[in-house]
Amino acid sequence: MAIVELKNLVKEFPGGVRAVDGIDLATEEGEYLVLLGPSGCGKTTLLRMIAGLEEPTSGDVLIDGHVVTGLPPRARQIAMVFQSYALYPHKTVYANIVFPLRAAKMPKDERDRKAQWAASLLGIAHLLGRKPRQLSGGERQRVALARALVRQPKVFLLDEPLSNLDAKLRASARDELKRFQDEVDTTTVYVTHDQVEAMGLGDRIAVLSEGRLRQVGPPMQVYDDPADTFVATFIGSPPMNLVPREDVLVGFRPEHLLPAGDRVPDGWVTVKLAVDRVEYLSGDRHVWGTAQGLGEPTRVVSRLPAIVDAPVTVGEEQRFVVAGPRFRFFSAS
């Protein structure tokens, strides 16, 4: 059964901004669904409507098969972790974690048991006496997660929970979040604008733009078969190359454009690349240039593992090949 189901959900703010513009989407039980899209595309608004913090203009939110549109947040069995973590600065970690349980009038010994369980699951049992300001960013995030976890919600809603962490911490926090999800197995809707995070965490990715759903699918499917040019260029780094040809755009990933060897495999296409820039990034070489021979001359990028020993020289025109079987075609309109 779908745990969260959105039916033709619309949110229009005063002034006519359609932050969410008719979204149909359902999570599967235990799924990690990532909502991915650029800043301002409506991700937070969508999450707030699931949580009950924002009323939809029209459409419905269902949780566990029941319409919850109009019900207050506490009646929804969801827990939301905000970008800012929203911890109470003057309360200890322990008091922060049990806060929702006190509010629900749970007896003290049961509260203690739940807090200990959540804290040890998240590796913060030794921090229960501290105040938030005595914690690192990653520890604060774990406290916010523990506070969400103690309520044993049907759904976790996470709004860019890693965005306050520095790059190094983000990678390890992402790893922790994934292990945490595997262990807890609660349906999670995770919002991010970062496609790397989305690819790494999501069982499925839902790509949003301007309040609309562009594509939903497992990460590799969204990467290999983007539904449109928005998805094709939003996901992948560097983004998919798009070359205009007659009335279509030919799309291919940078890793499918390679220096030509002695032999061109069947179905591959030779192009001439006027190389204008080479960058080294994370063990890859990104080779930029203008390609001729596929369609209109177009600036494209090739991504080569830096260890591949193929000389590429800025300012020269070189023969490259493109994996024809990996072409994707998009309408040019």
Question: Which of the listed partners (ligand ADP, Mg ion, none) does 88 bind, with a CB threshold of 5 to 8 Å by partner kind?
Answer: none
Is 215 a residue that touches ligand ADP (CB under 6 A)? no
Of 44, 195, 209, 229, which one interacts with ligand ADP (CB under 6 A)? 44
Any contact of residue 187 with ligand ADP (CB under 6 A)? no
42 makes contact with ligand ADP (CB under 6 A): yes
C-alpha 99/C-alpha 106 separation (Å) is: 10
- Contact between 39 and ligand ADP by CB under 6 A: the answer reads yes
Shortest spacing between CB 159 and ligand ADP, in angstroms: 7
* Count of other CB atoms within 10 angstroms of residue 277: 11
Residue 209 binds to Mg ion (criterion: CB under 5 A): no
Which lies closer to Mg ion via its Cβ, residue 61 or residue 158? 158
Least distance (Å) from ligand ADP to the CB of residue 220? 24
Could you count the other beta carbons within 10 Å of the beta carbon of residue 270? 12
Return d(Cα 10, Cα 57) in angstroms, integer.
Answer: 5
Residues 3-32 that bind ligand ADP (CB under 6 A): 13, 17, 19
Kindly indicate which of the ranges 39-47, 75-83, 111-119, 257-265 contains the residues binding ligand ADP, using the contact rule CB under 6 A: 39-47
What is the distance between the alpha carbons of residues 7 and 5, in angstroms, rounded to a whole number? Answer: 7
Strands, E assignment, the chain: 4-13, 17-26, 32-36, 58-63, 66-67, 78-81, 155-159, 187-192, 204-209, 212-217, 241-245, 248-252, 257-259, 269-281, 284-292, 298-305, 317-322, 328-331
CB of 120 to Mg ion, least distance (A): 31
> Residues of 182-199 as b/e, b for ≥16 C-beta within 10 angstroms?
eeeebbbbbbbbbbebbb
Residue in the structure block whose two tokens are 């499925």: 204
Choose from ligand ADP, Mg ion, none: what does 73 bind? Cβ within 5-8 Å by kind.
none
In whole angstroms, give the CA distance from residue 143 to residue 152: 15
Q: Give the contacts of 56 (CB within 8 A, at least 6 positions apart).
A: 9, 10, 11, 20, 49, 69
Quick one: 45 or 181, whose CB is closer to ligand ADP? 45
Shortest separation between residue 27's beta carbon and ligand ADP, angstroms: 18
Among 4, 9, 36, 41, binds ligand ADP (CB under 6 A): 41
Shortest Å, Cβ 158 to ligand ADP: 12
Mapped onto helix, strand or coil, the DSSP state of residue 100 is helix
Q: Shortest Cβ contact with Mg ion: which residue?
A: 44
32-36 and 187-192 beta bridge pairing: parallel
44 lies in the binding site for Mg ion (CB under 5 A) = yes
Residues at the contact surface with ligand ADP, assessed by CB under 6 A: 13, 17, 19, 37, 39-45
Residues at the contact surface with Mg ion, assessed by CB under 5 A: 44
